[in-house]
Structures are given as C-alpha cells and as structure tokens.
Amino acid sequence: MPIREVKDEIRILGWDDSPFDNNSSGTVPIVGSIVRGGKPYLDGVLVENVKLDGFDATEKIARATNRSRHKDQLRVILLDGITFAGFNTVDIAKLHADTGLPVVVATRKDIDFPNFKKAMKSLDGFDKRWKCVERAGELKKISIRGGNLYFQHKGIEEDKTRDLLRMSASKSITPEPIRISHLIASAITKGESVGGA
C-alpha cells in the first residue's frame, strides 16, 4: 500500500538484531518493534531467530510481519542496515513484494562498499548476497539532529522516506522503531538493554 502522506502516528515496524559473538554459530534473535511514528508509543513486539551468516532474514522478517495481528495497521518496514546476524542479507525488493509494505533501510554508518564486498566474498553464496545489496539501490544521506543517517528505500518515494526518517528520529539520530528494537534485542542476549542512543 503506497504512503500518500507521512502522518505523525504512522505505524512503523522497525527491526534490529541482537548482539552476537563473531565466533559463535547457530541463530541470532531479531526484534521488530511496532511504533507510532516518533512518539513513545510501543504497540507491539515481534521476535524471530535467523541463522548467523545465513540466508533466511528476508523470509523470517516477511513471515513475522505478515502473521502479525498488527499487519493491517502497518505502513512501513524500517531496517537497521541491510544485514542481520553477520551477513544474513535482506533482499528489500523481495521483502517489499512479499509484505506489500514499503521498506526503508537506515544506518548511521556510511558503507565502504569495496571493503563490504571483500568481507562478503569470504562467505558461501557471495553472488546471492551481493545481488541483495545491488537490488537495495543507491545509499543516500540525510542530516538529522546534527548527524548523518544513510538510507535505501523500496516502495516509497525518496521525499516521503526523508520525511519519515526525520519524523521518526524524535530522540536521536536513530529512528525510534530501530532504537527501541535495539534496546529489546540487546536485553534478550545480555540481560539488560545497552546502547540505544
């Protein structure tokens, strides 16, 4: 469903992964927080597990989103970066198609694509992973609260994406749905929330 207007209490589903040890194996919890724009209103929380450096992040996020009782109220999916649990890369074009929702990727780090590509080449399935990166499109920049946020988008126009990011980043540079998911995700693995600034 296209977004005609970025309203103040638009329901955003923001996803982040839990901290993990690079030497670990298995699965990593990921958390989706349903937040009303940039307001401190948490309407719901979704939790999934994805494989470390696996290929199931797109499928798991789409499945959790589509099964949610909040699905009809959701207007956009917001991801903290394009990779979860290491290099489990999200195909945001497929996620958009499978959920019918616009998808926005936001990160505070400017991606060094040559080094990113080099690191990804050390894993199996490089071509499949890199195709997801290419399908995400150009990395764009927006200035928020004196800092920079970088983003990619599918199913939503660039100007509306910029409006969405400015509106949802009400406490810091990081949009609230991602910040809240980060706090919950870190508490799952560490017993207490960390970061979130």
User: Does residue 2 form part of some domain?
Assistant: no
Does residue 195 lie in a domain region?
Answer: no
* CATH number reported for the structural domain that contains residue 105 in this entry: 3.30.2170.10
| Residue 28, domain member (yes or no) | yes
Strands 103-107 and 88-89, how do they pair? unpaired
> What's phi and psi for 117, nearest 5 deg?
-65, -40
Domain that holds residue 74: 11-188
| pLDDT at residue 1 in the model | 53
Given this model, what pLDDT does residue 34 score?
Answer: 97
Query: Which tens digits make up the pLDDT trace of 51-100?
Result: 999 999 999 999 999 999 999 999 999 999 999 999 999 999 999 999 99
The answer to the question of residue 196 being in a domain is no
The confidence score (pLDDT) of residue 194 equals 74
Low-confidence ranges of the chain (pLDDT < 50): none
Whether 56 maps to a domain, the answer reads yes
The answer to whether 11 and 43 are in contact (CB under 8 A) is yes
Residue 191 has what pLDDT? 80
pLDDT at residue 73, as a whole number = 94
Domain assignment present for 3: no
- Tell me whether residue 193 is in a domain: no
State residue 37's pLDDT score: 83
- According to the model, what pLDDT value does residue 8 have? 66
**79 inside domain:** yes
Give Cβ neighbours of residue 14 (< 8 Å, ≥ 6 apart): 32, 33, 35, 77, 78, 79, 80, 175, 176, 177, 178, 179, 180, 181
Question: Do β-strands 27-36 and 103-107 pair in parallel, antiparallel, or remain unpaired?
Answer: unpaired
Number of domains in the chain: 1
